[in-house]
Amino acid sequence: MNDMQQVVAVTVVVCLAAGAVGAFVLARLRGRSTTVLVVAASLVPLAAVSVAVFVNVRRMFISTHDSTVVLVALGCAGLVGILLSLVLGHQVAREAHALTRTVRSLGERIPVEEAGARTTPVSSELTALGRELDTTRLRLEASERRERALESSRRELVAFMSHDLRTPLAGLRALAEGLEDGVIEPAPALRQVRQTVARLDGLVGDLFELSRVSAPDPGPRDDATLVSLVEVAHDVVGELQQHAHQRLVDLRLQVAPDDDRLAVTGNGDELTRLLGNLVGNAVRHTSEGGSVVVRAERCADGRTQLSVLDECGGIAEPDLLRVFEAGWRADPDRGGRDAGAGLGLAIAKGIVESHAGSISVANVEGGCRFEVALPAAEPGGVVEQDAPVS
């Protein structure tokens, strides 16, 4: 065996022995600090190289001066390696502690500057893990904010409904007491009772409808048919024309000549109620002499669109995000018999979402514009000739 073969053999044996010892040491150190593990893992190859070089230098019978130079250089390199392993282990341990704090802070609100105070990770894997944890924390915070907003909206709705129920019930109690005492004529009292009961029935119906269309997973629809949005718009405008005339509001319908059908797949009753809620609100909040324009047209993306443009004076910017919340009303005093229960727009939003559509509102000059976009029906179907009116 020549010298080179002997060097290779000695090096392989020494490295295998060092690897076995290193594996044993790492197994014994399992569960220790990251710094200790990184240093130990760095020392294993360093020790293997040092022992292999030392043995080969001794076997080669080189001069004492040359062997001393090699060993000194090897020692200096080993010292530098140990120091670098200590630095790397400390950085990895510090980043691990930072990630641990991030995990513990999930679900807790922490300042943005504190969340971004983590040092630059020492590896791409830790960088990806840190980013994922930050994303998860932001999602949890957003979910918590939505939950608080929903809870606040629920409390407001309960309070508003209690108020809206208490007022007519108090009126019914007064009418009943007046009839018992004989101080109220029966005929007008019965008319008032009938009107109040109808109002309560409408409120309960709105609550039921809101609960139905707001179900988290309503499942597949089994009542969907082809409905013409143009016919729905004609029915709603015709139904509310007298109401608009009484309020001195000009209510008009605009349909493009080539959009005489605008068929969608859905429930005709619900789509009629959807547009009726939007147009009714527009007429109610438009002042005398104003106008309400209902448009049925096709969007550039192929969807069908219904829009209601009124002259209500616009909606305050902070309220634009709350328009479709249950119980929200534009009038902070919530007074008047014509104010409604504040459920119409929430029901409209639920109906639109149950039809895989979208609804939005924006302020325009002199008023606001509600837009409803629904997927167009597949071609080849037969459209219902008479859209039902709720």
The candidate with the shortest Cα–Cα distance to 266, out of 213, 326, 215, is 213
The DSSP-derived string for 253-304 is: EEE-TT-S--EEEE-HHHHHHHHHHHHHHHHHHSPTT-EEEEEEEE-TTS-E
Phi first, then psi, for residue 378 (nearest 5°) are -65, 140
Least trusted range by pLDDT, from 71-85, 94-108, 317-331, 358-372: 94-108
Q: C-alpha angle with apex 275: 269 to 278, nearest 5 degrees? A: 140
Average pLDDT over residues 103-116: 56
Give the per-residue pLDDT at 109: 56
User: In this predicted structure, what is the pLDDT of residue 341?
Assistant: 55
- What is the mean predicted confidence (pLDDT) over 311-337? 71
Instruction: Categorize the per-residue pLDDT at 2 as very low, low, confident or very high, splitting at 50, 70 and 90.
Output: low
Pairing of the two strands 263-266 and 358-364: unpaired
* Residue 15 pLDDT class (50, 70, 90 cuts): confident
| Long-range contacts formed by 107-116: CB under 8 A, 24+ apart | 107/137, 107/140, 107/144, 109/141, 109/144, 110/137
Per-residue model confidence (pLDDT) at position 384: 47
What percent of the chain shows pLDDT beyond 70?
76
pLDDT of 389 above 90: no
Q: Tell me how long the chain is.
A: 390
pLDDT at position 292 = 94
pLDDT of residue 119: 52
- State the pLDDT at residue 143: 80
Q: What residues form DSSP beta bridges with 295? A: 254, 307
Mean pLDDT score, 1-6: 69
Model confidence band, residue 98 (pLDDT cutoffs 50, 70, 90): confident
Are residues 306 and 294 in contact, defined by beta-carbon separation less than 8 angstroms?
A: yes
The pLDDT mean for the chain works out to 77
Is a pLDDT exceeding 70 seen at residue 13? yes
Compute the distance between CA of residue 361 and CA of residue 364 in angstroms, rounded to an integer: 10
CB 308 within 8 A of CB 302: no
pLDDT band at 301 (very low <50, low <70, confident <90, very high): confident
pLDDT of residue 385: 43
pLDDT of residue 335: 45
- pLDDT tens across 229-252, in order? 899 999 999 999 998 999 999 999
What is the H or E stretch that residue 306 is in? strand 304-309
Q: What's the rounded Cα separation, in Å, for the pair 107 and 303?
A: 39
pLDDT, greater one: 154 or 1: 154
| Helix/strand/coil for 368 | strand
- Neighbouring C-beta atoms of residue 363, cutoff 10 Å: 15
Where residue 316 falls (left for φ over 0; alpha for ψ -120 to 50; beta otherwise) is beta
Looking at residue 293, its pLDDT comes to 94
Ranked by mean pLDDT, which of 62-66, 150-154, 195-199 comes out on top? 195-199
Tell me: the pLDDT tens digits for 343-372? Answer: 788 888 888 888 889 999 999 988 999 999
Q: So what's the pLDDT on residue 340? A: 53
HSE at residue 110, side-chain half, CA atoms within 13 A, is 17
Q: Which residue is associated with the tokens 């829009």?
A: 307
Among 127-131, 172-176, 194-198, 313-317, whose mean pLDDT is lowest? 127-131
Pick from 114-118, 126-130, 191-195, 348-352: least confident? 114-118
Quick one: 40 exposed, middle or buried, by C-beta within 10 A (0-12, 13-18, 19+)?
Answer: middle
